[in-house]
Each structure stands twice: as C-alpha cells, then as structure tokens.
Structure 1
Amino acid sequence: MNATAAETVQIITPSQLLTHWQGHRKLTRRVIDAFPEKDFFDYSIGGMRTASQLTLELLAIGAPALKAIVERDEKPYEEAGNALTTKAQFLEQWDKSTAIINDYFPQIPSEDFSKTFNLFGQYNSPIIHSVLYFVDNEIHHRGQMYVYLRGLGIEPPFFWER
C-alpha cells in the first residue's frame, strides 16, 4: 500500500474518540472525588500545583477549547474558577464541562479534524492535535493527582477502569 492510500485509512471514528476522551474524564472525576476536601486544595508534593489548581486548568481547556474550535473563536486562554471553593463545586463544574463536550464534539465535521485552527490565538495546529492534547494533558495531570493520593495513603481508582 502506498503512503497516499495509508493516509486515507480511518483508524478511529470521531464518535470513538469522544468515547475514549469521556472515559478518561470519568476516571479523572473519580480521582478528584477521592481527595479529602482540605487536601484537594492544600496538598502538594515537590512544589507542584495542588489538585484543585490542576483541575482548574483542565476545566479551562477541555470544554472551552472545544467550544472555541467549533465556533472558530481564537480568544486567549483564561483560567477562571476563583468562585469554586469546594470540591463539590469542582465536580459540578466538571459535569457541566462534560455535557458541553458532548454537545460540541459532534459539531466538528470529520473533514475538519485535519484543518488548522489557532487555539487560544497561540497554538496553530490541526484540530486533531488539539483534541489529542486535551486528552494527553488530562492524563498527565491525573497522574500527578495519583501521586498525591498515594502520598496521602489513599488508593486511587484503577487507571484502566474508564
């Protein structure tokens, strides 16, 4: 098979990609929920950001970035959330973000995944690269939270149970 034909083979459908991403989001939600309230906001190892700060970043990227892609809005990255003061509020916002992702993701036509978009006005790359970054970034920060939970003596959820 030549390179051109290989490039036309679809390995995963957009629907399967969304299911994969939402599996990670369900697991991350369980990891967030495993934290004791105080430790979610205060516990850190080696100067890394707290679980609440990591979660703020995830909330600022996933749904807002996907919405920006669909609407072709290149507004700058903004990490809001100072109004979130309890773990329950973070989980509620997580659930709202999940619903937004479920709403916006199917609005991206399959042919657009290879198109370039300037995310946050500074990351100019194919849309598929941005979506994969959203998943990779979440996995990375969830890994940090696993370390925190283990440091607190709490068994984190199994990473394969998505």
Structure 2
Amino acid sequence: MGTQSPATGQGSSTAGRESPAGAPTGGAVSGGAAETQAASGAGHENLEQEVARLRDQVQRLEAEVNTLRREGTGTGGSGTQATASDADTGTTVLASVVMQGRVASVGKDHVVVRDAESGDTFNLFVTNTTRISANGKRVSPQQLSEGTPVQAAFNYIADGDTYATQIRAYPGRRR
C-alpha cells in the first residue's frame, strides 16, 4: 500500500491516480508534523486543482461529442457503425456532479444554483424523479427560497442540459 523510507522509517502513501498526462490528480500523505500541516493547507489546493481538471475533461468531452455530431459518425469497437443521429444525445450522461451552493432563483421546472466554490450558476432542470428535501422532508422546488444553502446532485447531459437528481436544502444555515 505504501512505501517505507529506510533512512527515516516514516511511511508514505500516495492518494489519487495519475492522469493520462502523468500528472498526479491527488495529494500525497506522509508522516511528520510539518508535512501534515503543509498537507492540510495544500489539501484545499489539491481539491481545487482536481475540480479544475474535471471541468477541463468535461469541456474536452463536450468538444468531442460536438465533433462526432458534425461528422455524423461514432467511434468504438467491433459491431455495426452508428451515426450520431442514432445516439440519443438528449439522455447520454457525460458526468454526474455533486456540488455545494446557494439557490439563486426558482422556476416552475428548474432551480438555479450558484456554486459555492466557483460562483458559476447552474440551471438545474427538475423532473418528477428529482428528490428535493429541506430538513429531511420532501418539498417542492417553489418551497426553496433564494439564498438557501443546498447540496445539489445533477447529471450533465450530452446536449448541454443539466438535470437535478437530488437537491438537499439546509434552511437553518442561512447567512
């Protein structure tokens, strides 16, 4: 699991995986008080780097999907060749995301959430399968008020839409 340094006797393990370019996507954890303090400060930085890396990856995937749509062909292994029109891009999930934020606005079929980290807003479509709760009880989207802190889980679809799967409100934590 980890390696042991023969000189110091302290163990270390590397958390995370390597990206295709070979850059580590997680942080390293090792013994020693000074290293622990540095790692706790760097943990937030590593998380921000990971989020930025994932956003870049989603953008690359979007560009690839758009290219495939223009070309009208797909890629893959053996079997029959499919065209882009054969794929239902309206339901192809590119990424499932969980974020912390605040309700920016609420509509009949959507909730706009402002990401606590980036400040970006996400227009999350609400369907009959979306689970919305406040203080552990199910509520309608209209019961969410602007500024309410939420944790939102949503699917980012190939056509660019975002569909909420769950929105958990924490009304008692308003600022």
Q: Which has the higher contact order (CA 8 A, sep 6+)?
A: 1
User: Please, what TM-score do these two structures have when normalized by structure 2?
Assistant: 0.29
User: Please, what TM-score do these two structures have when normalized by structure 1?
Assistant: 0.30
Greater strand fraction, Structure 1 or Structure 2: 2
Rg (Cα) greater in structure: 2
